Amino acid sequence: MGKLKTAHGTLKTPFFMPIATKGAVKNLAAEDIRELRSGILLSNTYHLYLTPGMEVMKKAGGLHKFMDWKGAILTDSGGFQVFSLSKIRKIMPGGVEFRSHLDGSKHYLTPKKVLEIQKIIGSDIAMVLDVCPPSTASMEEIEAAVKLTTIWAKKAKIVNCKLKIENLFGIVQGGIYKDLRQKSLNDLIKLNFDGYAVGGLAVGESNSEMYKVLDYLAPQMPKEKPRYLMGVGTPENIVEAVKRGMDMFDCVIPTREARHGRLYVNLPQAPSFVRRGENLANNNLPLRRGGGRRPVGLKFYQTINITNAKFKTDFSPINQTNLKQYSKAYLHHLFKTGEPLAMRLATMNNLEFYLRLMEEIRSDIKQGKL
Amino acid sequence: MGKLKTAHGTLKTPFFMPIATKGAVKNLAAEDIRELRSGILLSNTYHLYLTPGMEVMKKAGGLHKFMDWKGAILTDSGGFQVFSLSKIRKIMPGGVEFRSHLDGSKHYLTPKKVLEIQKIIGSDIAMVLDVCPPSTASMEEIEAAVKLTTIWAKKAKIVNCKLKIENLFGIVQGGIYKDLRQKSLNDLIKLNFDGYAVGGLAVGESNSEMYKVLDYLAPQMPKEKPRYLMGVGTPENIVEAVKRGMDMFDCVIPTREARHGRLYVNLPQAPSFVRRGENLANNNLPLRRGGGRRPVGLKFYQTINITNAKFKTDFSPINQTNLKQYSKAYLHHLFKTGEPLAMRLATMNNLEFYLRLMEEIRSDIKQGKL
């Protein structure tokens, strides 16, 4: 277990970052995130740059003040969003031109500009601008993306000598190509970043392809620097990635699934079809939607769809921790009647699950179990 | 200033009840209502009877437990909803048959049944089933409604000898017809209810018509019993009704307006066009939407539309009390980006405004100012 120091608190790794894309975790207030005992949240350069825009952000005194968040903030550089949200974009050696997915207005982001934006936001951990090719890209395209990402990373590193953002992370690209991944990582290591992120995974490849990349990449990553696996993932993905040496995670799964009534719930004991004592994290049980049981780490959990009729009269608590005062039947009722509180409670449940999972992983590491 | 005792706390009158129609105040959790220091909330027999239904409510152990609310609950009888939401209904001497607005299923509510439902809900204050004619009804229709409401009130009173709901209120009908209103009230007084509600107002008549009804009705209402003005109203309406002797209020205005970004904000001093020291509650300034200033009681307030462009860079706090940590610019941003947190914060602001207004009214009464 390691530590990551920021001006807004020291974070114990490995950790998971709730996503506050546009300056708010969907359905939650900053005080809810505090209550969930997360020391960090993730926001996004691309979105905040478009709305409310940097003039507002400057006057607000940064995102911490704007959203009343006292913990750390990591911001993605916007690279991924330019390539996934904007339908019209043009990659140039100096940066990327794109049209806003909101109003079609034209914008130009450079390695320098995204850092300046992140400085205004007040990010504790900033990411360099990277080129994110689609999952369908050819090896040639990915190779070109790696090259440009490295050039941009260099520029970012130089810019940050003046800007002095506390933590600047490089992003390793290269798809599922070992040579490209290794070249990308080696080039970034030479630039001596404060941390290294693995981008371009969890974009459609299989779990085993993703794990394979981590298998050869992670051992080559600097031991004393945090390692961030971007956009990952399911509880299983996280456990597997931690085993392979990754430290930081973010994913829309807990919050997005919550909005669809899908809850992560701990099971008091192993489901009957899993042998006790088995190394459960290695167990690849098929994911069954709507009641599929999936063991992870040393714990058992289940995903349930709370809108399912069987929960209409299930008066057991939503969970045993932060929502023990509410029954599943109540949450079922809130979803069925379209009460906005439904999504808030479901989100609180799923983030609680993810954040407590990370606590357990840290504790398991400390005890030498993982 | 009076007091109303319930098994879930003693309430100081006059008070306003946040509306939790289907077992949740829109966008809020019960703990938010506690934080807002409301001792009571209002829920609805009609809605809870249809969803989740009484089997669930019974198994849940009542609404207090279901929604984790420790304060008092008043439930409307469902009379108003049968007449406003259900398009197909048939009034019969014994009760009212209607089709659910949700699925068209047929139901039959009687004075006895609505009390049994409210008993299962666990209401601290239950309302009798009443006949609510539309605002366009003829005097004959309203007269018939009054007669049947009285008959049903008698039945309810008898039923409650066994049921023993702590507080049972009768509902005065009669539209804007003095004779009918007085007859309705006198008939109900003979039945010795625990409190008296005025129904059938705020359904389209003018403010002055409503105040006129209260002017002659309130002095005839039993002094030692609470008086509930149903579905009212704006801050001005409430102040005017308190002056005329009313004690209890409920209205969708603060919560519904919040969802449209309309906020009630206190003004530190009188707007320039109002003379200081003037009796402001009597001042009938026209309601101007989008910045209209309306004085009430001894206070000044304004309604603002937070989605207005001018709030994009307004970094003053949303209010000086429960939301002082957030700027108007942040709330503007949340509304503009469709973040669900927007509605929650706006609702917290408006209920805070209404509940603190009631506190000020109680304090003014105590000090002899009102």
Contact B197, B181 (CB under 8 A): no
> Is B250 an annotated catalytic residue?
yes
- Compute the nearest-CA separation of B29 from chain A (Å): 7
What are the residues of chain B with a beta carbon less than 8 Å away from any beta carbon of chain A? 22-24, 26-29, 47, 51-52, 55-56, 59-60, 66-68, 312-313, 315, 325-327, 329-330, 332-334, 336-337, 339-341, 343-345
- B24 contact residues in A (CB cutoff 8 A): 334, 339, 341
Nearest residue on chain B to A59, judged by CA atoms? Answer: B313
pLDDT at A79: 87
Q: For residues B340-367, give the mean pLDDT.
A: 96
pLDDT at B63: 98
pLDDT lower than 70: segments of chain A: 269-299
Q: Which two tokens stand for residue B336?
A: 């503009």
Task: Compute and round to an integer the Cα radius of gyration of chain B.
Answer: 21
pLDDT at A238: 95
Q: For residues B62-80, give the mean pLDDT.
A: 96
Q: For residues B296-309, give the mean pLDDT.
A: 84
Q: Which two tokens stand for residue B142?
A: 């309203």
pLDDT at B287: 37
3-state secondary structure chain A: CCEEEECCEEEECCEEECECCCCCCCCCCHHHHHHCCCCEEEEEHHHHHHCCCHHHHHHHCCHHHHHCCCCEEEEECCHHHHHHCCCCEEEECCEEEEECCCCCCEEEECHHHHHHHHHHHCCCEEECCCCCCCCCCCHHHHHHHHHHHHHHHHHHHHHHHHHCCCEEEEEECCCCCHHHHHHHHHHHHHCCCCEEEECCCCCCCCHHHHHHHHHHHHHHCCCCCCEEECCCCCHHHHHHHHHCCCCEEECCHHHHHHHCCEEEEECCCCCCCCCCCCCHHHCCCCCCCCCCEEEECCEEEEEEECCCHHHCCCCCECCCCCCCCCEHHHHHHHHHCCCCHHHHHHHHHHHHHHHHHHHHHHHHHHCCCC
Contact A219, A245 (CB under 8 A): yes
Name the residue among B70, B18, B71, B17 with its Cα closest to residue B258.
B18
Output B344 or B294, whichever has higher pLDDT: B344
Largest CA distance in chain A: 61
Dist. CA A53–CA A55, nearest whole Å: 6
Output A294 or B31, whichever has higher pLDDT: B31
- A315 contact residues in B (CB cutoff 8 A): 59-60
Q: Which site among A26, A48, A51, A330 would you substitute to test the B interface, given the most B Cβ atoms closer than 10 Å to its Cβ? A: A330
ipTM > 0.85 for the complex: yes
Whole-structure pTM value: 0.94
- Check whether the bond before A233 is cis (ω within 30° of 0): yes
pLDDT at B362: 95
Output B285 or B313, whichever has higher pLDDT: B313
Q: Do A330 and B29 touch (CB under 8 A)?
A: no
- B222's enclosing H/E stretch is none
Q: What is the mean pLDDT of chain B?
A: 91
Cα separations in angstroms, A346 against A227, A305, B57, B156: 29, 10, 21, 40
Q: Which site among B56, B103, B259, B316 would you substitute to test the A interface, given the most A Cβ atoms closer than 10 Å to its Cβ? A: B56
Q: Which two tokens stand for residue B278?
A: 């003037």
The answer on pLDDT for B281 being more than 70 is no
pLDDT at A135: 77
pLDDT at A107: 94
What are the residues of chain A with a beta carbon less than 8 Å away from any beta carbon of chain B? 22-24, 26-29, 47, 51-52, 55-56, 59-60, 66-68, 312-313, 315, 325-327, 329-330, 332-334, 336-337, 339-341, 343-345
Task: Tell me how crowded residue A275 is: count the other CB atoms within 10 A of its CB.
Answer: 9
The answer on pLDDT for B277 being more than 50 is no
Contact A72, A124 (CB under 8 A): yes
pLDDT at A269: 64
> Is B179 an annotated catalytic residue?
no
Single-letter code of the amino acid located at B219: P
Residue keyed to tokens 């009957």: A272
Q: Counting every residue, how long is chain B?
A: 370
- B52 contact residues in A (CB cutoff 8 A): 312, 329, 332-333, 336
